[in-house]
Amino acid sequence: MKEHPWFENWRIGPEWTSHEQGFWSTGKVTLTRGEYWFFLFNSLGEQHKKCMVLINKLGKRHWQNRQQITYEPLSPGHDEWRNNSSVWYYLGGEVKELFMGMSTTRLKGNRLESEHPSGYGLAFTGEFPDYTLSINKGAEEIGHFTTHGTPVTEFRQSPLLKMRSREGFSPDRTTFAKIDRVSQPPYCASNCCDVFVGYKGRFLGEAFEGVSWIERARSFGLPPNWLLLYVAFDDRSRLWMRHFTGRINHYDPLVFYFDDEKARRRYGFETIDWKYYKGYHVGPHDTIGDDTEYVELKGKGPEAEVRCLCELKGYYLHRYTSLKYESRYYQSVLDPVEFELKTTDGRVLDLNHFKRAVGYGEETYKKKWRETILADLDDRPK
């Protein structure tokens, strides 16, 4: 179904032509239109460490993790508002929440700030691809992350995708970035920009260094269900898979590839086999849960096939409740324990070819759980 550019712009705004435009612009949100800023810092040191930050601007009133979330505009230009922000982290083998809930957020120029009533605050600023994210508790800075990369000078349409997806590497390959503009009228549409770049920082007294993933998105319509697996390797190679599992989505159903930084080559995969396991190779099941111990991903393409087995170390769960539906959004901490890439020209890569690899996963799904929703309402803060 072809869509008139005017209608597309009305739904999600003008097309972003740069990361600066994506990160530092905002607009009005409604029941069907929302925005977010997403930050993931994977540490590639001896210990697996993660810090995950999410700043939302969602127009739909809902309950999230038993807190009521509403959108409250605080300025005529929609550059100051109240909505949900959250931070969770993985340290010492445990997933812990720093804070989550209604926060006051403002965007001025190239600076985004968010303040939670508990005293925690976030500040994001910079110029592509060098950014800084600070996390404060009152006047004390408890987290500081600084990205360091070389700008991407040329963006090209991804040959693996049908959607409008312009991507590129910096000349020295320290930065990978992309800008997506996709629409499936009349259901869904989105603007999205991503950057994968090295960083250094500290959080709660711990040193962090590795690869960051920063994403900014503006969307229209009901979000689809998806699966995601991202494995970052110490040489900046990456295994990336995002699979939209519903019948209606605003992306290509499957985006699955491995960027081999040593060979400077990308291998695309056209099929997916995803399984959860309770115990090592014992009994696959369909969705993530408290008894999940391993996640396995397989894929085949014209030039290679891949298999990756990850141990689930923990997850952070966002539970969104609205009307009669509950949407569950899992963000998982994964440790790759087996990895193998076999190419048609005889190359074989496994974990022995890398010093370190860490994984991150996502799954979302919706259920009509009236009993769960009523229980949440009964337990809501008085």
Domain covering 1-222, topology: AttH-like fold (2.40.370)
Q: What is the pTM of this model?
A: 0.92
CA-to-CA dists, residue 105 to 38, 111, 123, 177, 226, angstroms: 14, 11, 10, 26, 28
At 30, the pLDDT band (50, 70, 90 cuts) reads confident
Residue ranges with strand state E in 235-281: 238-244, 254-260, 265-268, 271-277
Report the range of poorest mean pLDDT among 21-30, 70-79, 192-201, 366-375: 366-375
Nearest of 179, 177, 168 to residue 147 by alpha carbon: 177
Lookup: tokens for 71: 């959108």
H or E segment to which residue 91 belongs:
strand 80-91
At 220, the pLDDT band (50, 70, 90 cuts) reads confident
User: In the prediction, which pLDDT does 329 show?
Assistant: 92
User: In the prediction, which pLDDT does 368 show?
Assistant: 57
Percent of the chain exceeding pLDDT 70 equals 89
84-133 pLDDT, tens per residue? 999 999 999 999 999 999 999 999 999 999 999 999 999 999 999 999 99
User: In the prediction, which pLDDT does 160 show?
Assistant: 87
Q: Would you give the DSSP letter of residue 351? A: G
State yes or no: pLDDT of 161 exceeds 90. Answer: no
At 326, the pLDDT band (50, 70, 90 cuts) reads confident
3-state DSSP of 189-200: EEEEEEEEEEEE
Backbone angles phi, psi at 362, to 5 degrees: -140, 145
> Are residues 227 and 243 in contact, defined by beta-carbon separation less than 8 angstroms?
yes
Identity (one letter) of the amino acid at 13? G
Matching residue, tokens 């500290």: 202
Q: Where are the domains of the chain?
A: 1-222, 223-382
Count CB-CB contacts under 10 A for residue 275. Answer: 15
Lookup: tokens for 212: 């960051």
H or E segment to which residue 314 belongs:
strand 304-322
> Are residues 40 and 361 in contact, defined by beta-carbon separation less than 8 angstroms?
no
User: In the prediction, which pLDDT does 249 show?
Assistant: 53
Rounded Cα distance, 160 and 264, in Å: 16
State yes or no: pLDDT of 381 exceeds 50. Answer: no
Nearest of 178, 180, 183 to residue 168 by alpha carbon: 178
Rounded Cα distance, 148 and 126, in Å: 11
Collapse the DSSP code of 148 into the 3-class scheme (helix H, G, I; strand E, B; otherwise coil) and give the result.
coil
User: In the prediction, which pLDDT does 370 show?
Assistant: 45
Average pLDDT over residues 350-364: 96
User: In the prediction, which pLDDT does 346 show?
Assistant: 95
